[in-house]
Chains A and B, each alone.
Chain A
């Protein structure tokens, strides 16, 4: 079975500074990795995903993520944070459950606060 760890419950960053939200994963086989964002009182919105190829994946709203196979990490990054980026961020890995069915497994989420 696969798993995802987001080691930081909360990340605070000043507006205009670069931000990083960390994610590590464990999965059998090739990793398929996703980042979602949840704004208050809203559903999850897809940001980006890694399937194969280039280790730097670009996504929506200026976000990107760096895949590192040796460190089993998939950290979310943005060069310059905006106050509007304040939200809850989820990392997820796709794999097969013990019963052999497709499953998307989420981390517990990281709350990002961008301080004006």
Chain B
């Protein structure tokens, strides 16, 4: 089944404790992206990647890191999480970066930083 997977689905952590949220897609997509969803704000892009070893900032990159060492994986790293990073996170992928390409989303990771 074609899908985007994320792990973990739920995570409660404390301020300053490094964490990684994994994202993997099995569709051989070139483009991958991370979003956060907050009530009343919709989805905002954190980082994106157009291919292996090519990443760039989205609208809200502060406090986050990403890497793209393999085409299928795009982990999101919070080196020193803070409470304002409590949010619902989504990974997405698309075939390419054409304006008409459809992005497909993972199931989400609900993160709480205490």
Tell whether A pairs with B. Answer: yes
- A interface residues (Cβ-Cβ under 8 A, vs B): 30, 32, 34, 36, 41-46, 49, 51, 90, 94-96, 99, 101-104, 106-109
Of the residues A43, A95, A109, contact of B106 by C-beta under 8 Å = A43
Number of interface residues of B (CB under 8 A): 27
User: Given A43-B105, A108-B42, 5 more contacts at CB 8 Å?
Assistant: A43-B108, A46-B102, A90-B42, A102-B31, A106-B42
The contact sample of 7 A-B pairs, CB cut-off 8 A, is A34-B102, A43-B4, A43-B106, A44-B92, A49-B100, A106-B42, A107-B42
Summarize A's interface: helix, strand, loop or mixed. strand
- A109/B105 contact (C-beta < 8 A), A32-B99, A51-B100 known: no
Q: B105 near A45 (CB under 8 angstroms)?
A: yes
Q: How far is the CA of A104 from the CA of B90 in the complex (A)?
A: 13
- B interface residues (Cβ-Cβ under 8 A, vs A): 4, 31, 33, 40-45, 48, 50, 56, 58, 90, 92, 97-108
Q: How many A-B residue pairs have CB under 8 A?
A: 56
Neighbouring B residues of A32 by C-beta, 8 Å:
99-100
- Min CB distance A95 to B, Å, is 7
- A109/B102 contact (C-beta < 8 A), A42-B108, A101-B48, A103-B58 known: no
- A108/B102 contact (C-beta < 8 A), A43-B90, A101-B56 known: no
Q: How far is the CA of A44 from the CA of B48 in the complex (A)?
A: 17
Q: B97 near A102 (CB under 8 angstroms)?
A: yes
**Minimum CB distance partner of A9 in chain B:** B40
- Min CB distance A29 to B, Å, is 8
Enumerate the 10 nearest inter-chain pairs by beta-carbon distance, A residue then B residue, closest first. Answer: A102-B97, A44-B105, A108-B42, A43-B105, A106-B42, A106-B43, A94-B99, A43-B107, A32-B99, A51-B100
Residue in A32, A46, A102, A108 whose Cβ sees the most chain B Cβ within 10 Å: A102
**Minimum CB distance partner of B43 in chain A:** A106
